[in-house]
């Protein structure tokens, strides 16, 4: 559960580099996107935005009104075309290559030197046999002056940031994992629904809460710490507390997460490590 929700959270935080050229070339000063709707299927897609404006230290502000956006998956990243411009997102998180189908509506992004705010009305995605539906997501974080864009986003948003999600729906493997973590048994039901999800991070300490239902229901609260380890290019999450209603689920959570280890996700209690 924690891995799935945090992967989605980091995906949201890392959407900002999508709307930039490679961060080692120059620094973004401002990004402003309003009401972007995007569809993506089998490696290519497109969208339409009411406003699309990217400003760097090497370019003047040239806002594009009612701009069309095209997306093409390539071997080592994603190519984006908008208006008369294009940019390439090199080496994104590996799990994004597994997304087969995606629809996102009402996306807004406002990024300046000191903050980034991001929200959308709805996200629907299919990854392998998994389906995900996210409604009314909003996230904000305070940005600190760091030259590299990826380092800036990860270091800043893992120090002070917030996420709110009204509804999240997941299927199959997520359902199985959640039922084992929350209820210590596999529950036969339809989709798992996560409602009123919140994450607050203050000075690297986070609190996460959500109401989760899958035939049975539980209120989940998780606390810990988040850090970006620049030297090893990793996000480290320490889980200090994990409860479902009145029950301690920390041991069951780590047991299930251990089964989900991969090249880019490692578990060493009380820590989780995500490689970027």
Q: What are 138-185's pLDDT values in tens digits?
A: 999 888 887 777 788 888 889 999 989 887 776 655 556 665 666 555
Q: What are 10-63's pLDDT values in tens digits?
A: 444 444 444 333 343 345 567 788 999 999 998 899 989 888 777 765 555 556
Task: Round to whole Å and give the CA distance between 228 and 163.
Answer: 18
Confidence (pTM) = 0.77
Instruction: Assess contact for 15 and 141: CB atoms under 8 A.
Output: no
Nearest to 126 by CA among 170, 93, 90, 75: 170
Q: Taking the CA of residue 16 as centre, how many other CA atoms within 13 Å lie in the half-sphere pointing to its CB?
A: 33
Q: For residue 127, give the 3-state DSSP assignment.
A: strand
């Amino acid at each position: 559960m924690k891995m799935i929700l945090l992967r989605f959270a980091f995906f949201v935080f890392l959407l900002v580099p999508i709307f930039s050229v490679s961060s080692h070339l120059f620094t973004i000063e401002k990004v402003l996107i309003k009401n972007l709707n995007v569809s993506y299927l089998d490696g290519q897609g497109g969208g339409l935005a009411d406003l699309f404006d990217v400003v760097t230290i090497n370019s003047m502000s040239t806002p594009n009104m009612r701009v069309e956006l095209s997306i093409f998956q390539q071997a080592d990243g994603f190519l984006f075309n908008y208006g008369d411009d294009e940019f390439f997102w090199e080496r994104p998180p590996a799990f994004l290559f597994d997304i087969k189908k995606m629809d996102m509506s009402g996306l807004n992004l406002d990024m300046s030197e000191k903050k980034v705010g991001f929200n959308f009305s709805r996200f629907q995605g299919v990854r392998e046999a998994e389906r995900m539906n996210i409604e009314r997501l909003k996230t904000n974080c305070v940005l600190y002056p760091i030259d590299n864009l990826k380092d800036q986003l990860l270091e800043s948003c893992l120090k002070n940031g917030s996420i709110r999600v009204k509804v999240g729906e997941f299927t199959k493997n997520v359902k199985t994992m959640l039922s084992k973590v929350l209820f210590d048994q596999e529950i036969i039901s339809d989709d798992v629904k996560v409602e009123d999800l919140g994450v607050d991070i203050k000075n690297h300490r986070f609190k996460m809460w959500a109401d989760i239902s899958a035939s049975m229901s539980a209120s989940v609260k998780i606390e810990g710490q988040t850090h970006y380890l620049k030297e090893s290019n990793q996000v480290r999450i320490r889980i200090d507390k994990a409860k479902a209603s009145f029950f301690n689920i920390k041991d069951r959570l780590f047991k299930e997460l251990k089964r989900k280890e991969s090249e880019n996700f490692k578990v060493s209690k009380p820590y989780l490590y995500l490689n970027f």
